[in-house]
Amino acid sequence: MKTITKSLFLALVAAVVPVALAQHQTFTANPDASQVGFALAGTGHHVNGTFHVQSASVDFDRTAMNISGSVIVAAGSGNSDEPSRDKKMNTDVLDVAHFADVSFAPKSYQGTIATSGDSTIQVTGVFTLHGTPHDLTVPMQIHIDGTSLTAKTHFKVPYVQWGLKDPSIFVLKVAKEVDIDLTLVGSLSPSN
């Protein structure tokens, strides 16, 4: 009887441990496959461009709904296909000489992350721009296929309200918020 009980216990542990490990994972983005897109409306023109994702690593636990890590973007990598405008953005608005990174550190999430397929969650964290932290909640669409994960979000950054310089001049006015589209593509691995 003890042998049967012990065998059942070991079989139960063997069945539960992989499931528990699958709940606690680390997502590591591939910077070359990931991107930050931005759009800034203005009078008579609309500016679109991209920034480079330097790194992104996010640890999450589906059972406890814990999330942590960071997404780091190179502030000086902004590219709108207009070198003089990008130079002005880097020096006058973002001040990349003093603030080289823009980052987001997730702290919590609401919703359910499926083990495969599509999920939509709300991620709350700290968005640091120009050296100043701001609380931010963003919707996140996640697609998991085996060990591959793609995460996408769209949100607005009220950069003028957050203390950055308004680049508007004379009749060329631009919006006080910039639209951000973040796409992270990478892989999943069990967390330690």
What pLDDT is attached to residue 20?
38
Token pair in block for residue 89: 């953005």
pLDDT in tens, 46-100: 899 999 999 999 999 998 888 999 999 999 999 999 999 899 999 999 999 999 9
**pTM, to two decimals:** 0.84
Token pair in block for residue 170: 């004379």
pLDDT in tens, 159-176: 999 998 888 877 778 899
| Residues of the chain by 3-state class (helix, strand, coil), percent to 5 | 15, 55, 25
Q: How many CA atoms lie within 13 A of 127 on its CB side?
A: 15
Secondary structure of 22-84 in HEC code, one letter for each residue: HHEEEEEECCCCCEEEEEEEECCEEEEEEEEEEEEEEEEECCCCEEEEEEEEEEEEEECCCHH
Query: Judging by DSSP bridges, how do beta strands 178-190 and 148-157 pair with one another?
Result: antiparallel
Q: What is the CATH number of domain 25-190?
A: 2.40.128.110
